[in-house]
Amino acid sequence: MKRLAHGGRIDRSRPIGFRWDDRGLTGFAGDTLASALLAAGEAIIGRSVILGRPRGIMAAGLEEAHGFAQIGDGAESEPLVRMSAVELVAGLAASSRITKGRLPNEPDPARFDHRYAHCDLLVVGGGPAGVAAALVGARSSARVILAELEPELGGSVLRERDSNTVPAWLADAARELTGAPDVRVLTATTATVALDQNGMVLTERLGSRRPAGERGLIPEKRLWHVRAKAIVLATGALERPIVFQDNDRPGIMLATAARAYLHRFALAPERGLVFTTNDDGYRTALDWNAAGVPVAGVIDPRPNPTGRLPQLARDAGIQVITAAVVAGTTAETDGRLRAAVVRTDAGAEEVSCDLLAVSGGFDPSLNLHQQRGGKTRWDEHLLCAVPERALPGQWIAGAAAGRFTLGGCRADGAAAARSALASLGLVPAGAAEGEEDDPDDAAAALFAVPAPDGDESRSFVDPHRDATVAGVERAIGSGIRHVEHVKRYTLIGTGVEQGRGAKVNAGAVTARGVGRPLTDIGTSSARPPVEPIVFHALSGLAKGPLFEPVRTTAIHPAHEAAGAVFEAVGQWLRPRYYPLPGESMADATLRECRAVRQGVGMMDVSTLGKIDVQGPDAARFLDRLYINTMATLEPGKGRYGVMCRQDGTVFDDGVVMRLTTDRFFVTTTTGNAAAVLDWMEEWLQTEWDDLRVWVTSVTEQWSTVAIAGRGSRDVIQRLAPGLDVTNSGFPFLGVRNATPAGLPPAMIARVSFSGELAYEISVPRPHGISLWEAVADAGSGQGVVPYGMEALHVLRAEKGYFIVGQETDGSTTPTDLGLGRMASKTKDFIGKRSLGRTAMVRPDRLQLVGFRPVDPDALAVEGAAVVADPNQPEPMTVLGHVTASHRSVALGATFGLAMVAGGLGRRGATVHARADGRTVPITLCDPVHYDPDGARRDG
């Protein structure tokens, strides 16, 4: 193609330099990357993924199957971007990719943004139908969002002959919408994912709007999450190509695209040829002719097209060849189009051309409708799939509904908006409506032209995937009949553009192959997103340090002052260990464990989830959540409990403390604090809304310090001299209130995750540091030592205590953990029925066991596979895996925990822990390695 001296909507006074495959080229403001390359004579933009065939630009919109590129270089790079959507900006660098992108290794410094919005009416599509619909909403005082894929409103109008001077009605409408107070117009914005309850995800392209050299001031993309009361889908229609031999050559383009490049970018061929099954294709020939471009003719398979446009073509002296098809093409030595092979009843001849404009008809763009399960039906008159009916809360208007005329689209869009607003109780205002245009002649039902030599391996149904008619025939020959199965066999429609122009043709070729009508075969469905969304846009500002919030407890400064090494636990930074000068992690961990087992240790456990559960029905509510009974708890006492999912697998565990008759203090694991709260809210709101219960997260409101070891009772006595800390006055799992000296009233619970006599003291968060210092001062005479997560893991494993997510996975039941007797036989709870299923009580399930290495100094690797015979040939039969493995001060040896198939029945057996080519023989045993009778815990 060449750039004409006049015309188009580009700004010739503003040349823009850019790079393509490391070569410097120049375009104009208003160009896209696709149009700038065509103007520069770059007919070949790359080669296809499988066959390596040369490819060129074939569309100007979503129909594009070839024109995808890598935009940017280095860290500032985005793969597989549709070139017709890339606005030309200074400094743009792009390279040919077509189907395979390249991910950068460095983080992208660009900003990506998220916005959330609600509206009465969301209009998707800024063409004639969408603009008319938005006007109705604007004039009805409704809150309206109008999203348009292109950088400006107009849609199909912008590809027609008068687009370089925008029609007055469109210019007036754009001004009115832009100035309306409750209307937000989002151009360069793709509605890409349809959600339930009339939600929609929009991707707004902003990068081209920033001034040169100001990268980072304006986000590259903005992801909108919109919730609308009503939606009008005015997404238009996409032109369909025709399948014939060698129909993928550079220089073959959709007819509407040829007009778009002519009228928007002043691009035209040296000699053009049109192959169309419908009257609309004649517009391209007429517009070329009016621009002074030689037109080789119009090839029309219909025997006698008599509509207005074919007659205008004849009157203009354009050769119209009827009852004819393009059966193939020939190419120049570099692969570009040289001529089309035109076949009539009289024979075949080559017609020289450098651009073949093809129109096989139009398909309503219904991706968003289909994403939510919307159905379509085949319309024999329109020869396309139209919506069977709109989904609740949605209206489909204009070409998306099968109304392909300009006037009809405007009228249809206004009518859809009035109906939508009326359903919301809003009084719809009038809007300018178009008049119905003269109907075109019926189109020819031609989807694929048989290859003249029978070789269908070069007749491309989906050129993006190099999928051909021959491939569809192979699928049929393999016994495949359903179009969705054909899609997966051939990969038609599985590329980044989802085979938008290929679906109907694939259905037609399949129908022909199986000898059934296209109405029976149908077309494949659409999946989200409409266009690819880069992960940067999905994450927004949540990248680098902002990817995940870092949470710290109120006591964090004290840990830093003590030289703690931290680790992330459920977003919280928790001390892993507190090394003394010259100590390794292993040394520090053993020292901290020794302090807890022989003296006293202190630990910041503020990160444990804490939920306040109140209400007259709180006890009944907790009984339904936990496998054991909570309603029998007396105020001032606590009970360890386990929650299951509906399938009977372990969800979370923790201690439930009853403070008063109708108030409970529930603790959860650190990582599941939010999930348990959500779980409670879900059941209260969706299933048990009759229960009078209120749940509130108080995790952040309390600072909690655990004091563990045989000296812990003395520490508590010093902190609260008036508190009865005897076994009878403060038994295990008791809960008491006290006011330690210099601190606000505190809640003290006698609970233990170390197996030692232990307490947890909770005070309001602002007093966390003061509590930590008070405990350290009260325990100084006992030699109190702070201990971290590494020591805690050793201590809990010695006692056989499991950790949710470490010993458990999505299939672990309480019985697998040795807690089957906890499950109540007299009450119902979530997951109870599932626990009785045959699969849940099999003796060969993975069960929690302990182990001791045969060599007491050998250390098994956590995650190692447990096998019976380490010499068996691979793949080995795996019995289970190691979940915890440590060196123990208390045991004087290494030990661990494992989940092993039928583990309880294998106790005493020697098996092997194998990882990284190293094998450690281990003897299975009871998971409780230390103080099995609980004497130390009970004090």
Query: How confident is the model over 411-449, as pLDDT tens digits?
Result: 999 999 999 999 999 877 665 555 556 667 889 999 999
Rounded CA separation 567/557 (Å): 15
Rounded CA separation 428/830 (Å): 49
pLDDT tens string 746-765: 999 999 999 999 999 999 99
Other CB atoms within 10 A of residue 27 CB: 24
Q: Residue 727 pLDDT > 50, yes or no?
A: yes
Q: Quickly list DSSP for 110-160.
A: --EEEEEEEEEEEEE--SHHHHHHHHHHHTTT--EEEE-SSSSTTGGGGGS
Give the three-state DSSP class for 451.
Answer: coil
User: Which helix (H) or strand (E) covers residue 311, if one does?
Assistant: helix 308-315
Residues in the chain: 939
> Which DSSP state fits 41?
T
The reported pLDDT for the residue numbered 257 is 97
Q: Which pLDDT band, with edges at 50, 70 and 90, does 212 fall under?
A: very low
Rounded CA separation 530/81 (Å): 13
Averaged pLDDT, 486-511: 93
The reported pLDDT for the residue numbered 220 is 83
Q: Hey, what are 581's tokens?
A: 């000068």
| Number of helical (H) and strand (E) elements in the chain, helices listed first | 22, 49
Residue identified by tokens 């051939």 is 490
Other CB atoms within 10 A of residue 758 CB: 28
The reported pLDDT for the residue numbered 569 is 92
Chain mean pLDDT for the chain: 93
Averaged pLDDT, 596-608: 97
Q: How far is CA 464 from the centre of its chain?
A: 23
* Closest among 393, 409, 450, 353 to 156, alpha carbons compared: 409
Q: State the amino acid at position 800 in one-letter form.
A: G
pLDDT tens string 326-377: 999 999 999 999 999 999 999 999 999 999 999 999 999 999 999 999 999 9
Q: Residue 636 pLDDT > 90, yes or no?
A: yes
pLDDT tens string 266-324: 999 999 999 999 999 999 999 999 999 999 999 999 999 999 999 999 999 999 999 99
Q: Hey, what are 618's tokens?
A: 């709180």
Q: Hey, what are 144's tokens?
A: 């309206």
The reported pLDDT for the residue numbered 130 is 96
Estimate the share of the chain in helix, then strand, then coil, as percent rounded to the nearest 5: 25, 30, 45
Look at 546-555, 670-679, 785-794, 919-928 and tell me which has the smallest mean pLDDT: 546-555
CB under 8 Å to 117, separation ≥6 — which residues?
145, 184, 224, 225, 226, 227
Q: Kindly report the pTM of this predicted structure.
A: 0.78
Q: Hey, what are 270's tokens?
A: 């040296």
Q: How many CA atoms lie within 13 A of 74 on its CB side?
A: 4
Strands, E assignment, 277-417: 295-300, 320-322, 325-331, 337-344, 347-352, 355-359, 362-364, 376-379, 384-387, 394-396
Task: Give helix 128-138 / helix 406-423 axis angle, nearest 10°.
Answer: 40
Cα-trace Rg, the chain: 36
Q: What percent of the chain has pLDDT over 90?
A: 85
The reported pLDDT for the residue numbered 168 is 85
Angle CA 711–716–718, to nearest 5: 100
The reported pLDDT for the residue numbered 77 is 84
> Which DSSP state fits 631?
T
Q: State the amino acid at position 817 in one-letter form.
A: L
Q: Which pLDDT band, with edges at 50, 70 and 90, does 573 fall under?
A: very high
* Closest among 485, 447, 445 to 469, alpha carbons compared: 447
Rounded CA separation 885/907 (Å): 17
pLDDT tens string 114-170: 999 999 999 999 999 999 999 999 999 899 999 999 999 999 888 887 656 678 888
Q: Hey, what are 657's tokens?
A: 């403390």
Averaged pLDDT, 769-786: 96
Rounded CA separation 860/880 (Å): 14
- For residues 201, 121, 123, 207, the Cα torsion angle rounded to the nearest 10 degrees is -50
pLDDT tens string 452-484: 999 999 999 999 999 999 999 999 999 999 999
Q: Quickly list DSSP for 210-266.
A: SPTT-BTTB-SEEEEEEEEEEEEE---EEE---B-BTTTSTTEEEHHHHHHHHHHH-
The dihedrals phi and psi of 257, each to the nearest 5 degrees, come to -65, -40
Other CB atoms within 10 A of residue 111 CB: 19
